[in-house]
Chains A and B, each alone.
Chain A
Amino acid sequence: MDLVQLQRQFVDYRTSLYHEGFLDEQFTQLQELQDENNPDFVVEVVSLFFEDSERLLNELARALEQQSIDYKRIDAHVHQLKGSSSSIGAQRVQKVCIAFRNYCEEQNVEGCLNCLQQVRHEYSLVKTKLESLFQLEQQILTAGGSIPM
């Protein structure tokens, strides 16, 4: 595939992520913050997000397995996941967190378990998609091109 085709594929793919609600305006903000002094800023922040999320998802699974469920603790974890997902523009993850918190407040274990499954699913989707996006970026850069804004 030549450079122009690669760039077009990148733009189309990125646009689809917004249309499908995987990413929102906040992700655009991150891209605008990236500059020559910090050329890997977006990848670095997103990597931190992946790290944080995986830890939080494991903590949530553990907390929901307990005999006596600590809803305050679960709420704290979900709150943090909501905050970090919103910071990078992972909109679908953020939305599930909102529902998750409501079930926590109601102390509804079924609801919480469902939300955990949903949030895991949305997280792995957005992770795969962002990794593909970064891969496309890398291909463009390797081919000597620049990333279309």
Chain B
Amino acid sequence: MNSSNGNGSMSTASSSGAWNGRDQFPAGLRVLVVDDDQTCLMVFEKMLKTCLYQVTKCNKAEIALSVLREHKNEFDIVISDVHMPDMDGFELLKHINSEMDLPVILISADARKQVVMKGVTYGACDYLIKPVCIETLKNIWQHVVRKKARNTF
């Protein structure tokens, strides 16, 4: 999946293993990561690939939203930075929550309580403070399972 749209861009990188069945889970987890900072985006992508996830990266929230709308059911989880020009992480979160059933993790270098509170009350399933370490990313599959379980019962 490769598309360019003005100043924004996104690209997909797959790990070598495809998600064939539950026994390989969480390998192949389909993650959309959104951050306007190219340094952070590159680090996230590498970390997520190392977790054997299937990663699509995006540097603009609007593009992320249109990708999610066009490719419904092709993603398991969204990770988004909070502070971005134009549409920010909170707005993206609101759109995703109202239109689809995807867990969204917010990430920021902003650790202020009121900002984290906002993220949680808007419905982020987690709020991570940068710098994020790979061990944390190894556990994000729990949010996918939790959401599915909540929907089933």
Contacts and interface: CB of A to CB of B under 8 A. Distances in A.
Interface of A: 25-26, 29-30, 32-33, 38, 41, 44-45, 48-49, 51-52, 76, 79-80, 82-84, 86-89
Interface stretch (B24-32, B36-44, B65-73): B36-44
9 closest A-B pairs by beta carbon, nearest first, are: A83-B109, A84-B39, A86-B131, A26-B131, A48-B39, A49-B39, A82-B109, A87-B40, A33-B46
Q: Interface on chain A toward B: helix, strand, loop, or mixed SS?
A: helix
Interface in B84-104: 85
Given A33-B43, A48-B38, A76-B83, 7 more contacts: A26-B131, A29-B131, A80-B83, A83-B37, A83-B40, A83-B109, A88-B43
Contact of A30 (B43, B81, B130): B43
A45 B124 CA distance: 28
A76 B85 CA distance: 9
Contact of B42 (A48, A76, A79): A48
Contacts of B37: 52, 80, 83-84, 87
Contacts of A76: 83, 85
Contact of B83 (A79, A86, A87): A79
B134 interface: yes
A33 B130 contact: no
A98 to B, nearest CB: 10
Nearest to A97: B109
B147 to A, nearest CB: 27
Contacts of B74: none
8 contacts: A29-B131, A32-B134, A33-B46, A45-B46, A52-B38, A79-B83, A87-B39, A89-B131
Contact of B39 (A38, A41, A45): A45
Q: Interface on chain B toward A: helix, strand, loop, or mixed SS?
A: mixed
Contact of A87 (B36, B50, B131): B131
Interface string B130-146: 11011000000000000
Interface of B: 36-40, 42-43, 46-47, 50, 81, 83, 85, 108-110, 130-131, 133-134
Contacts of B134: 29, 32-33
Nearest to B43: A87
Contacts of B40: 83-84, 87
B109 A45 contact: no
Contact of B50 (A33, A80, A84): A33
Given A38-B46, A41-B46, A79-B83, A29 B39 contact: no
A88 B39 contact: yes
A32 B55 CA distance: 19
B134 to A, nearest CB: 6
Contacts of A86: 109, 130-131
